[in-house]
Each structure stands twice: as C-alpha cells, then as structure tokens.
C-alpha cells in the first residue's frame, strides 16, 4: 500500500505479501484469495484508503472474528510504506543481521510474529578448538512453563500449536465412580465370604481379607460452544477431549453454536489434527452465533437419555453469552441437571478478576451447575482435576 503511483507489478507483490502475513498469522488464506485481492485492488485503485481496505477485506476474509486481526495488519501496512519491502526480505531466505519491523504493543501477538518473519537458522558449530560455554538453565523460565499461564486467545500461532500438543498430556478431570462389584484390598470392610472360602481350603490360615469397591471411569459428555467468541478455546478443548477419548471408553462430544452437532464419530480418529479437522467439517455453524438455550434443549430431547447413563458427567464449555432471547436457557439447563450426575461449567470469562454474572445467559446457567471453573490457559486445565476433588465438589444424585 505504497500510494497511488504504485506500479502494477509492485502492487501485486505488495498484496501477495500482505496475504502471506495474514496467512502466517493464522487466517485461512489461499492462492485463490490472494489472486482475487490483487484484482480487487487493481479495480478500485489506491487513491482512497477505505476503498483499498474494503477490497482486501471482501476478498481475504470471510468471518467476522478475523476482522480485528485484518485491521491491525492493514493499518501496519498503510502507515509504513517501507514495511512491505521489509516483509519481502523477511519472507525470503536471507542472511542474519537484517532489521525487523518495530514491535507495536497494540498488534496481536500472532500478527507481530508474522510481521517479524522467521528467525535465522542457528550458525553451524565451528570446527576445531574454542572454549565451550555452558549455561545453567536450572533457574530459567522454560517455554512450557511460560505457556501454562498464557491465555489461549493471546498466543501466537506456534504457541497455540504447542499448547494443543501439551493439553493432550493432561489427566482426566472427572474422577472414577465406584460400582457394585468389589475387589480385594489391603484395608477396608471385612470380606467375610472370601475369608471363609480361604479358611475352608486351609484351616491354618487366620488372616482376614478386606475389600473395597471397584471403580471405573464415569461416562463423559462434552458440550462445547464453537461460536466466534469461543473459537480458540473450543479448539484447545477438543484436543483435550481427544486425549480423554483414548483412555475412556464412553465419551460423547457435541458442539453447538446456532445448532447442536454430534461430532463423536469424527473425534474418534486416532490422529488429533485429523479428528479436529473432521469435527470442523461436520459442523455447519463454526464461529457463528450462539444459541445456548435451544442447543441444550435439542440435546435434552434427542440425546440425553441415550448418553447420560451410568452416572455420566457433563463438561459444558461456553462463555454463557446466549443470543437467544426466548428465555429457554434456564429451563433447558434445569432439565439437563436432572439427567446428569454432575455438570462442570468451564468458562473462559473467569480469567477476568472482576468477572460478575451480569449476562442473562450466565445468570440462567449458574443455579444448575455443580462447578464453575476457568478454562483459559494450560495452568487452569491442569488444575481442573484437582479442583473437582476438593471438598464441596461431590456430585449431585440424578433426579430422574
């Protein structure tokens, strides 16, 4: 965006680099969109900033939640005509030592990373002598430790990929439930029948046996909000759920935005990235609006009696910002609480210290959930299992 006197070839290069920066920031921009953007800017010209902005936005982005990142990148290009030249140098192979664009604290982290380009590869080790220097990293802050406290929504593209990998290593958040069958234990209630059977075989045995209840993983149902405001949190949670499905035989996964979608079959793919991609293809309203009440009502009518059996627990992942004005959310949540043994609400809005339940959707959900916990970072997800085992976290008995 270097001004109205831009040559046609230079204009095309600038638009292509701009599209590359957006793609490096995580936006789904292919060659077809970049070519359409070149034609659109060529048609409107560079005389008016608003015309260029409208032409690029119409061809490069298709979702409303991508607009803030697009605006930040466009402002950076428009304010600094020399930025495009530096981007061409940053995106092509180069020797180390070139300057990078100055950082702007107002830009999103993933856009700032894309504008900075890839870091140069490390220099090969020198042959021969030379003193080796070692650094004691015992007290340094590791990358994984730093990621634990970062909000998913503020991570760069690489940080987000690493967070999705780390989240698959977290333990299950819901403790196992006892069943009617018993097993031999070192302590506990006296197992009189087993003791008598052993003494009948060998009367000299006088040691008594004890028993305790067997445990098995409770069935788990995940209801995940995939609306625009929940996009990044939903993707991380689906990676988390995919890991849970490897260890639990009975996990059902549903997504909801404006409608309810069962993605359990897609999530059973062994590869987590393929599983998330399959779930995305199965969902028609990803990153759209939010109608929590009608979605929960659809789950209660179509699925609750089939999947909420055997003391099943529900993980409800949403920010509670319901756009449906029909007042159905409170009634649907009350019905769901009668089916489920336990409802754990994971809400990314709890990352704010001054969070108050002012939204109507939040107030409608709160009376019907057992726990209301934050879910905005790896640290919070890691603490989830510990929080559910704290005193006062005992589940309700089903009321149906």
Distance CA 300, CA 316 (A): 14
In a shared domain, residues 104 and 207: no
**Cα angle vertex 317, ends 229, 71, to 5°?**
15
In a shared domain, residues 249 and 345: yes
Position with higher pLDDT, 116 vs 242:
242
Map tokens 């780390």 to a residue: 166
In a shared domain, residues 280 and 302: yes
In a shared domain, residues 104 and 229: no
pLDDT over threshold 80, residue 265 = yes
pLDDT over threshold 50, residue 185 = yes
The pLDDT of 118-122, averaged and rounded, is 47
Q: Cβ atoms within 10 A of the Cβ of 304, count?
A: 21
pLDDT over threshold 70, residue 23 = yes
In a shared domain, residues 257 and 315: yes
Among 87-91, 209-213, 258-262, 311-315, top mean pLDDT goes to 258-262
The pLDDT of 224-249, averaged and rounded, is 84
pLDDT over threshold 80, residue 214 = no
The per-residue pLDDT for range 338-379, each reduced to its tens digit, is 999 889 899 988 887 778 888 888 999 999 999 888 887 777
**Considering the chain, what is the average pLDDT of its residues?**
75
In a shared domain, residues 183 and 290: no
Whether 372 is covered by a domain: the verdict is yes
Would you state the pLDDT for residue 137?
37
Which of 79, 94, 116 corresponds to the end of one domain? 116
User: By C-alpha distance, which of 276, 272, 274, 254 is closest to 264?
Assistant: 254
Would you state the pLDDT for residue 397?
44
Which of 67, 99, 116 corresponds to the end of one domain? 116
Output the 3-class SS for 30-71. Answer: CHHHHHHHHHHHHHHCCCCHHHHHHHHHHHHCCCHHHHHHHH
Would you state the pLDDT for residue 200?
82
Would you state the pLDDT for residue 131?
47
In a shared domain, residues 285 and 382: yes
Residue 398 near residue 183 (C-beta atoms within 8 A): no
Report residue 232's pLDDT band, with 50, 70 and 90 as the boundaries.
confident
Map tokens 């059973």 to a residue: 268
Would you state the pLDDT for residue 246?
76
Would you state the pLDDT for residue 167?
62
Q: How many domains does the chain have?
A: 3
The range of the structural domain enclosing residue 80 comes to: 8-116
243: CB partners within 8 A, 6+ apart: 167, 168, 169, 170, 272
Residue 272 near residue 239 (C-beta atoms within 8 A): yes
Q: Of the ranges 130-134, 291-295, 303-307, which one carries the lowest mean pLDDT score?
A: 130-134
Report residue 173's pLDDT band, with 50, 70 and 90 as the boundaries.
low
Say whether 9 sits in a helix, a strand or coil: helix
Q: For residue 20, give both structure tokens.
A: 């590359």
Residue 63 near residue 228 (C-beta atoms within 8 A): yes
In a shared domain, residues 305 and 270: yes
The per-residue pLDDT for range 26-57, each reduced to its tens digit, is 777 878 888 888 888 888 888 888 888 898 98
Distance CA 379, CA 355 (A): 19
C-alpha torsion 58→60→62→67, nearest 10: -90
Position with higher pLDDT, 115 vs 311:
311
Which of 66, 82, 116 corresponds to the end of one domain? 116
User: By C-alpha distance, which of 81, 60, 15 is closest to 42?
Assistant: 15
pLDDT over threshold 70, residue 168 = no
Whether 168 is covered by a domain: the verdict is no
Among 150-159, 242-251, 273-282, 388-397, top mean pLDDT goes to 273-282
Q: Of the ranges 65-79, 226-240, 272-286, 366-380, which one carries the lowest mean pLDDT score?
A: 65-79
Whether 162 is covered by a domain: the verdict is no
Whether 132 is covered by a domain: the verdict is no
pLDDT over threshold 50, residue 320 = yes
Ramachandran sector of residue 392 (left: φ over 0; alpha: ψ -120 to 50; beta: rest) = left
The pLDDT of 280-292, averaged and rounded, is 87
Would you state the pLDDT for residue 324?
74
Would you state the pLDDT for residue 290?
87
In a shared domain, residues 44 and 187: no
Residue 163 near residue 155 (C-beta atoms within 8 A): yes
Whether 147 is covered by a domain: the verdict is no
């Amino acid at each position: 965006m270097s001004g109205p006197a831009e040559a046609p070839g230079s204009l095309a290069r600038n638009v292509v680099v701009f599209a590359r920066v957006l793609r490096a920031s995580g936006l789904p921009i292919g060659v077809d969109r970049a070519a359409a953007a070149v034609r659109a800017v060529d048609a409107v010209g560079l005389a008016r900033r608003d015309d260029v902005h409208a032409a690029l936005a119409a061809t490069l982005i298709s979702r409303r939640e991508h607009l803030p990142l697009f605006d930040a990148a466009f402002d950076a290009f428009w304010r600094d005509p020399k930025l495009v030249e530096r981007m061409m140098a940053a995106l092509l192979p180069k020797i180390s030592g070139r300057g990078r664009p100055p950082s702007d604290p107002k830009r999103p982290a993933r856009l700032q990373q894309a504008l900075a380009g890839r870091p140069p590869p490390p220099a090969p080790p020198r042959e021969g002598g030379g003193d080796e220097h070692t650094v004691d990293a015992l007290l340094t802050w590791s990358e994984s430790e730093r990621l634990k406290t970062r909000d998913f929504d503020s991570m760069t593209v690489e940080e987000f990929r690493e967070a999705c990998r780390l989240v698959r290593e977290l333990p299950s958040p819901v403790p196992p439930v006892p069943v009617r069958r018993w097993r031999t234990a070192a302590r506990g209630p006296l197992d009189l029948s087993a003791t008598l059977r052993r003494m009948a075989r060998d009367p000299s045995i006088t040691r008594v046996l004890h028993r305790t209840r067997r445990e098995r993983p409770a069935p788990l149902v995940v209801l995940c909000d995939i609306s625009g405001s929940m996009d990044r949190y939903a993707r991380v949670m689906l990676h988390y759920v995919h890991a849970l499905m490897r260890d639990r035989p009975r996990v059902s996964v549903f997504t909801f935005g404006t409608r309810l979608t069962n993605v359990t079959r897609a999530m059973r793919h062994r590869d987590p990235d393929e599983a998330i991609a399959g779930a995305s293809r199965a969902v028609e309203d990803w990153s759209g609006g939010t109608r929590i009440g009608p979605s929960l009502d659809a789950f209660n009518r179509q699925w609750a009696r089939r999947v909420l059996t055997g003391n099943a627990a529900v993980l409800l992942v949403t920010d509670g910002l319901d756009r449906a004005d029909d007042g159905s959310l409170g009634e649907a949540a009350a019905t769901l609480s009668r089916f489920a043994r336990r409802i754990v609400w994971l809400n990314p809005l709890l990352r704010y210290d001054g969070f108050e339940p002012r939204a109507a959707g939040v107030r409608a959900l709160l009376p019907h959930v057992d726990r209301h916990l934050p879910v905005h970072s790896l640290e919070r997800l890691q603490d989830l299992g510990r929080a559910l085992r704290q005193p006062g976290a005992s589940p309700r008995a089903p009321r149906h």
